[in-house]
A and B are shown apart, each in its own frame.
Chain A
Amino acid sequence: MIEFQHVSVTYPNGVTALSDVNLSVRKGEFVFLVGPSGQGKSTALKLIYREVRPTCGRILVEGHDISHLSGRGVAHLRRRIGVVFQDFRLLEYKTVRENLKFAMQVVDTPPSIITRRVNDLLEHVGLIERRNAFPQQLSGGEQQRLCIARALINHPPILLADEPTGNLDPETSWEIVRLLEAINLKGTTVVMATHHREIVDQLSRRVVYFCDSRVVGDEQGGGYYPSTDCECEGSVETEMSAFDEGAALFRA
């Protein structure tokens, strides 16, 4: 479904975001990308939805090399991929329903389908009662659920989530992860970059470990920390301790 073949990314300032990454994600998988900040998780996701182009190597999505797509080609690729962000990126002046309608209109969905699809998605993410509310009237979890609904408007076979629980309390984070699990159960491939140790440990899914811009581990049913040792400049332990301390305080 998604394949990285010797992919490297170097930014003009000389920073290497990814170095010779090989990765393969099969259809219907739920994959966590973990590792300290700045080690290439987000860049890996950006490469899949073609926000960034590889410096070298190839990326295949559904069997197509996406490295050299035109503007129109990128647009069509993105209709096959839903993206969820940590900061939601919702339009504040539009209601819940209008946020979804906007995203469907721009890809020229017929009005009759828009109404039906918007209602189905809102039902699916549990926001049907809140359809006329504005984003600022929603809780963080509700905003993220709306963001997920928007990512699903085109029935994408792939859903990418870049730290979707990063701005949420632990309880709401679990709500979102459960929703992503439900979406994955329906056959959508989910790739999620996260710093949330508890979720990764408990879900026991495939985990890809990023460190020093490389993939240093790939375990099926793995936990937040790789079972094999790896030396990393930015410590995973340090990155996570702050979050987990916060989570523990919240629970207390």
Chain B
Amino acid sequence: MFSRIEFILTETFISLRRHPAMAMAAVFCVAAALFVSGIVGLTLLNAHHLVKKTMERVSFVVFFNTDATRHETWKAYKDIRELDGITGSHFVAKEKAWDRFKKENPQLAEDVGHNPLPDSIELKAADVKAIPELKSIIKERWPDVISEVRSDEKVTGFLSDTRMVIGRIGPLLGILLAVVSLIIIHHTIELTLYARRKEIFIMSMVGATPGAIASPFVLEGITYGLIGGGVALGTLAVMYDGFAGWLKGEVGASVMNDPVMLQHGALAILVAGVALGFIGSMVSATKYLYRPRSKVTNA
């Protein structure tokens, strides 16, 4: 067992040392692919973070008729807040609304002279997409006391669509880059296998199993993937940190900074690097070792 481990490690190291240019090319390509995948991932996470935060603030407002009595509006309010899908509600009496208006627009309030505002309710829905349906329910059930239900549907629709688009494009781009990395690792290992065909022949002649022959090459592929993943991770960490600092200083906004989420992302990049290296090298080694060497026609 120790003999095999020593053999695998020695042969992997020899291969890396003998083909530094190829090794660097493979590491660079994996790093580039994982870096871009990381950028896509971070953009996606931040978009989710932004959409979630924005949606938390999205509400809709129910305006009562100006001639509805306080008794009628209060009763309707108590029923509306019990509707399915409503997560938050706040009754705004017309006096309070008028006070707020006067504070914000003193000149206009003076010109108007009297309070024209109705009672209203500010409502929050569990799901932004359910707002149009809730609006219709409310309008249908209390047609006599409610004059208007208002919401900024353009904002909610845009946020919802954006999240969906990023959610679809992100994984597609990631898959595309993963395929490119796989092809590059596959070819790098294939070149290594070709360059070391003499060793492979000797291994095979002295009775090494295909698994034993393939193991140094698979470890080489995994090493490329791991180093590539590490380089990508380091670069992403430095850039994300710099971007977060710039955003806070210049715009006053913050990026997604959930440590658990970021740790999982970092782990995913390293695992993806190892997986790319493993799959790419396994494909090359299997293809090389099981290729028909002496083609003999079958009877």
Across the interface, which residues of A come within 8 angstroms of B294, CB to CB?
11, 46, 51-53
Q: Does A132 contact B (CB under 8 A)?
A: no
Docked-complex contact B205 and A78, CB < 8 angstroms: yes
Interface residues on chain A, number (Cβ under 8 Å): 39
Docked-complex contact A111 and B6, CB < 8 angstroms: yes
Question: Which residue among A78, A79, A114, A154 has the maximum number of chain B CB atoms within 10 Å of its CB?
Answer: A78
Measured in the bound complex, the distance between the Cα atoms of B205 and A83 in whole Å is: 7
Measured in the bound complex, the distance between the Cα atoms of B199 and A109 in whole Å is: 17
Q: Does B13 contact A (CB under 8 A)?
A: no
- Type the 1/0 row for A207-239, where 1 means its CB is closer than 8 Å to any CB of B: 000000000000000000000000000000000
Q: What's the nearest-Cβ distance from chain A to residue B31, in Å?
A: 29
Across the interface, which residues of B come within 8 angstroms of A104, CB to CB?
3, 206
Docked-complex contact B296 and A153, CB < 8 angstroms: no
Question: Which of B179-187, B208-216, B234-242 is the interface stretch?
Answer: B208-216
Docked-complex contact B293 and A51, CB < 8 angstroms: yes
- Type the 1/0 row for A51-95, where 1 means its CB is closer than 8 Å to any CB of B: 111111000000000000001100111111001000001010100
Q: Does A128 contact B (CB under 8 A)?
A: no
A75-B210, A153-B206 as given contacts; A105 in contact with B4, CB under 8 Å: yes
Docked-complex contact B198 and A79, CB < 8 angstroms: no
Across the interface, which residues of B come within 8 angstroms of A54, CB to CB?
296
Measured in the bound complex, the distance between the Cα atoms of B208 and A153 in whole Å is: 12
**8 A Cβ contacts from B183-219 to A:** 198-199, 201-210, 212-213
Across the interface, which residues of B come within 8 angstroms of A8, CB to CB?
299
Docked-complex contact A114 and B296, CB < 8 angstroms: no
Measured in the bound complex, the distance between the Cα atoms of B1 and A8 in whole Å is: 41
Q: Does A9 contact B (CB under 8 A)?
A: yes
The size bracket of the interface on B is 20 to 34
Closest to A75 in B: B209
Q: Does A199 contact B (CB under 8 A)?
A: no
Docked-complex contact B206 and A150, CB < 8 angstroms: yes
A71-B209, A154-B207 as given contacts; A105 in contact with B296, CB under 8 Å: no
Question: Which residue among B4, B7, B295, B296 has the maximum number of chain A CB atoms within 10 Å of its CB?
Answer: B296
Closest to A83 in B: B205
**8 A Cβ contacts from B255-299 to A:** 289-290, 293-299
Closest to B206 in A: A103
A51-B294, A83-B205 as given contacts; A102 in contact with B7, CB under 8 Å: yes
Q: Does A245 contact B (CB under 8 A)?
A: no
A89-B202, A111-B3 as given contacts; A75 in contact with B207, CB under 8 Å: yes
Measured in the bound complex, the distance between the Cα atoms of B210 and A71 in whole Å is: 6
Measured in the bound complex, the distance between the Cα atoms of B297 and A52 in whole Å is: 11
A11-B296, A11-B297, A114-B3 as given contacts; A107 in contact with B210, CB under 8 Å: no
Across the interface, which residues of B come within 8 angstroms of A46, CB to CB?
294
- Type the 1/0 row for A128-162, where 1 means its CB is closer than 8 Å to any CB of B: 00000000000000000000001001100000000
**Cβ-Cβ contact count across A and B, 8 Å cutoff:** 95
Across the interface, which residues of B come within 8 angstroms of A53, CB to CB?
294, 296
Across the interface, which residues of A come within 8 angstroms of B1, CB to CB?
108
Docked-complex contact A111 and B2, CB < 8 angstroms: yes
Docked-complex contact B213 and A106, CB < 8 angstroms: yes
Docked-complex contact B3 and A12, CB < 8 angstroms: no
Which of A10, A75, A91 is within 8 Å of B208, CB to CB? A75
Across the interface, which residues of B come within 8 angstroms of A72, CB to CB?
209-210
Measured in the bound complex, the distance between the Cα atoms of B297 and A55 in whole Å is: 6
Question: Which residue among A55, A80, A108, A154 has the maximum number of chain B CB atoms within 10 Å of its CB?
Answer: A108
Docked-complex contact B204 and A78, CB < 8 angstroms: yes
Measured in the bound complex, the distance between the Cα atoms of B185 and A105 in whole Å is: 27
Closest to B205 in A: A83
Which of B201, B202, B204, B209 is within 8 Å of A102, CB to CB? B202
Q: Does A32 contact B (CB under 8 A)?
A: no
Across the interface, which residues of A come within 8 angstroms of B210, CB to CB?
71-72, 75
Across the interface, which residues of A come within 8 angstroms of B296, CB to CB?
9-12, 52-55
Q: Does A30 contact B (CB under 8 A)?
A: no
Given contacts A55-B298, A89-B202, A111-B3, 15 further A-B contacts (CB under 8 A): A71-B209, A72-B209, A78-B206, A80-B207, A89-B205, A103-B203, A103-B206, A105-B6, A105-B10, A106-B208, A107-B206, A107-B212, A110-B3, A111-B2, A111-B6
In order of increasing CB-CB distance, the 5 nearest A-B pairs are A79-B207, A105-B7, A78-B207, A106-B208, A56-B299
- Residues of B whose CB lies within 8 Å of any CB of A are 1-4, 6-7, 10, 14, 198-199, 201-210, 212-213, 289-290, 293-299
Would you list 18 pairs from A and B whose C-beta atoms are within 8 A, ordered by A residue? A11-B294, A11-B295, A11-B297, A52-B294, A52-B296, A55-B298, A55-B299, A75-B204, A75-B207, A75-B209, A75-B212, A78-B207, A89-B201, A91-B199, A105-B3, A105-B6, A109-B3, A150-B206
